[in-house]
Structure 1
């Protein structure tokens, strides 16, 4: 039986409903927990916990010494605000953007008699797609800049085979003749530009001068698309106001502490936060696995090139022009998350700098922004998200203030039970939500979230001073560099906390119980120490690999 036979002869097609190819396994197995009563209950309980903790913290009767109290209030205010915004968005995540117009367009996407007449039933990549009964032209743009050839080959080969007629283009910013030969061998078109301005966005804009399709897909070189990439996204464009359809970044290389932590950190966002943003027409592009309407991009003058986070900036400009966005939490491409500390630091620095640039130089709350109230709030959350990554740096200072100077953030008259009840009501429920959505407790996320504050501090300074940051590609090939080159602040902080722990132990010698400050400091020291052990193991493995390659 041919591929088209299964389409025509399926019970769904015979019954007049959506054909078999319109209900791929990826969608059928899509996680249904976004609208589950259990998640909603957890979110509501967590919201109550957030409010209760905020009330406890801001109660004047509970205040201790001014300096540590202000540090705690500053840090926790950021966390509470981000948590409340996330709860609000997650509560909207059960909305399915697939409306009647989408399903109608899906059922009419392919002209079956024409496919049969052309004898192309076993060649899905030749099936012409239609919207409102008119054929559409689609380009798939694979952006490359020095990645391994095997990585590029897997993506390009899969892109060429995607179901639905399209043209595949390899956009090579690495100017590599081997990549050109690879593209020609796989049946893709090759584009090389002479200048490197605008990084990835500039690469795409240059390609759009020769790729003239009605719609175009952007794929990073390490994201291998699934055959149903176009059939799951193109029908949304039956709505003429839809500018782009974004799908999640799903990772297939969760093998190391860094790759697992970096991957799991994105899970809650892609499974629950982005779907919730559909309610507010505020889901934004994440740079890959996205389909754009060419007319919408032309309307805003092309992909935004003055930031390393061209994806978010392009999205906000489209929303300001009145265009709509759609996000579907269906995996349509699988790629790689950073596997090394170097790659993770560079990725997070790029993302955070782009977010802070929006906050400081294109604030969504500023007058003149043509956004709805909901869009303003959602983009404000995006722009301030990485402030929560700076919070650990502030909280790390609180235990040393007590150990060295006897300064405490909360009143000494408070019993430990009352403090613990308020504190745990906030944090334990946050962990419970993360555990529910990820399937289990992911300690790697806690590790990276606790030690990444130097990256986000640097990103904030870069955005504040408009310092240009060099572009780095995740997974780019190159020689070994010690991860300790990128974790100097964490190493210095670890030494300081270790000395602080030693002083605290000496001061408490002979006392029956340990103070909360000392326990807190020991935990912080252990987390940073665990991260440095991970860096040491990565360094040893990298040196061995470099010796084998030489």
Structure 2
């Protein structure tokens, strides 16, 4: 991993140097398109490499394991009274019993999805209270909560969306710590045992764990799910070194006092998670990212679901960039934190960049305008290009265990979503809240990819013209090949099948066995069973 990261960093630097050399510059318009798009990609590539190289280390130190081993006091009468039911065992930090709430946010998801998550939340080890926060105001969900023994909260208004739902619940739930779960994220039994020990440090505001998906059954779901693998496996852990790991909205445990200190979860954005994290960091609180799968959920598996998810996330990111730029904000952030949040706020510009590059080959085919000088040989161009892109692909190959074509294809075809998100923020248009897997009749997928369809038609026609031109000239131009690959990639999205039903199937055993009790603990729900995370802390 380190070797590939170093080589990728060198490749990124060489490619940036190649593009900016004046003697390599071609015609102004295509050169500006390329230099704008590739500069965004190069800067974000360097930021990712820097974060991985500088920051990656396991945050579970001696204090963590000591606190984890002492979570349960086997001499406690309550434990002795409920020896076979770990759900009733009091949780202790520094010898003091702490109260924990599990908050499941609900907004119209299918009842079986909510049941699956709520049953798993109730079964989490350690004494806690499970709450269903129903912004969908469903009597069926209320009946389900009563059946499962969960506490049920329904508010009269929907102000503040998910953040408002959480803040309302916190006026009723009074636990010292609370775990937030989206309705489609099923927690493993040991989620509290793995996260609470970090709170031995009184400055830790929240502990975030990854979003891992169990429904990667089609092209869209695999692309959407694997797209985040690098971030959760290497970038977020690296941000621990800068105290800049941020909340992603689910699978996160908060300290109640920290949230109270900033007046509650931030409500004026659809990216309430990132805003809340930035405000907490500005107040001097610390965060921890634990790269351990402790809950498994559903990735969007339809074009509609993916488009709405990315639009909401991108709108929130651009809101931060344009209304509270991390480099300029007066919040008391360190230089490292400002840089990390700036990378976060500008992340979705990397989704716009492919949209700019799609039209560069057309400028050459129709107008004979080239981004690089005709004096650049094919070998030199390929060395620079491969030094950036091929090494990025190799790094992704290593990260995922295999190269995922779905990720590259989906990312290259998502540019209209990010253009729309940027436009929403610039003109102040509010983006309606939507949830992955909400129970409603799906619209035609083509309603959400009209720009991609039109672009596909344009690129296909351009490729045909390029092939005809190359036949007449008895040579194959790079622009024609480039345009053909772009056409093929967009065609993959248009041909992606939509599932007739959403199976919501999770194979928990394939991702993790149960997160077992702390090492050395005398009281176990399964005597003799060792923790997989203890055998291999990574």
- Please report the TM-score for the alignment, with normalisation by the length of structure 1: 0.90
Q: Given that residues 56 and 240 in structure 2 are in contact (C-alpha distance below 8 angstroms), is that contact kept between their aligned partners in structure 1? A: no
Q: Secondary structure at the match of 1:97?
A: coil
Q: 1:413 aligns with which of 366, 375, 378?
A: 375
User: Residue 525 of structure 1 aligns with which residue?
Assistant: 487
Q: Where does structure 1 differ by over 6 angstroms across 4 or more consecutive aligned residues?
A: none
Any residues of structure 2 matched to 1:154-169 within 5 Å, and which? 154-169=116-131
Q: 2:310 aligns with which of 325, 348, 351?
A: 348
1:243 aligns with 2:174: no
Q: Given that residues 399 and 520 in structure 1 are in contact (C-alpha distance below 8 angstroms), is that contact kept between their aligned partners in structure 2? A: yes
Query: C-alpha offsets along residues 51-110 of structure 1, whole Å, 9 cap, x if unaligned?
Result: 111111111111111111111111110000000000001113531111232222112111
User: Residue 403 of structure 2 aligns with which residue?
Assistant: 441
1:388 aligns with 2:353: no
Partners of 1:45 and 1:209 in 2: how far apart? 51
Aligned-residue Cα RMSD (Å) equals: 1.3
Q: CA deviation at 1:507?
A: 2.2
1:290 aligns with 2:247: no
Q: Given that residues 364 and 379 in structure 1 are in contact (C-alpha distance below 8 angstroms), is that contact kept between their aligned partners in structure 2? A: yes
Query: Which range moves more in the overlay, 321-330 or 508-517?
Result: 508-517
Partners of 1:480 and 1:152 in 2: how far apart? 19
Q: Given that residues 115 and 127 in structure 1 are in contact (C-alpha distance below 8 angstroms), is that contact kept between their aligned partners in structure 2? A: no
Q: Secondary structure at the match of 1:219?
A: strand
Any residues of structure 2 matched to 1:407-486 within 5 Å, and which? 407-486=369-448
Q: Given that residues 480 and 542 in structure 1 are in contact (C-alpha distance below 8 angstroms), is that contact kept between their aligned partners in structure 2? A: no
User: Residue 538 of structure 1 aligns with which residue?
Assistant: 498
Q: Structure 1 residues 367 and 157 mapped into 2: Cα distance closer, same or farther (>3 Å)?
A: closer
Q: Structure 1 residues 304 and 116 mapped into 2: Cα distance closer, same or farther (>3 Å)?
A: closer
User: Residue 211 of structure 1 aligns with which residue?
Assistant: 173
Q: Given that residues 147 and 475 in structure 1 are in contact (C-alpha distance below 8 angstroms), is that contact kept between their aligned partners in structure 2? A: yes
Q: 2:142 aligns with which of 177, 180, 185?
A: 180
For structure 1, the 5+ residue unaligned runs are 1-38, 544-550
* Structure possessing the higher relative contact order (Cα contacts under 8 Å, 6 or more residues apart): 2
Q: Given that residues 79 and 88 in structure 2 are in contact (C-alpha distance below 8 angstroms), is that contact kept between their aligned partners in structure 1? A: no
1:315 aligns with 2:277: yes
For structure 2, the 5+ residue unaligned runs are 503-538
Q: Secondary structure at the match of 1:284?
A: coil
Q: What is the number of residues matched between the two proteins?
A: 502
Q: Given that residues 390 and 457 in structure 1 are in contact (C-alpha distance below 8 angstroms), is that contact kept between their aligned partners in structure 2? A: yes
Partners of 2:145 and 2:452 in 1: how far apart? 42
Query: C-alpha offsets along residues 159-204 of structure 1, whole Å, 9 cap, x if unaligned?
Result: 0110000000000011111101111111110000010000100000
User: Residue 71 of structure 1 aligns with which residue?
Assistant: 33
- Please report the TM-score for the alignment, with normalisation by the length of structure 2: 0.92
Q: CA deviation at 1:328?
A: 0.4
Any residues of structure 2 matched to 1:185-196 within 5 Å, and which? 185-196=147-158
Partners of 2:430 and 2:493 in 1: how far apart? 28
Partners of 2:260 and 2:182 in 1: how far apart? 21
Q: CA deviation at 1:115?
A: 4.7
1:279 aligns with 2:241: yes
Q: Given that residues 144 and 173 in structure 1 are in contact (C-alpha distance below 8 angstroms), is that contact kept between their aligned partners in structure 2? A: yes
User: Residue 126 of structure 1 aligns with which residue?
Assistant: 88
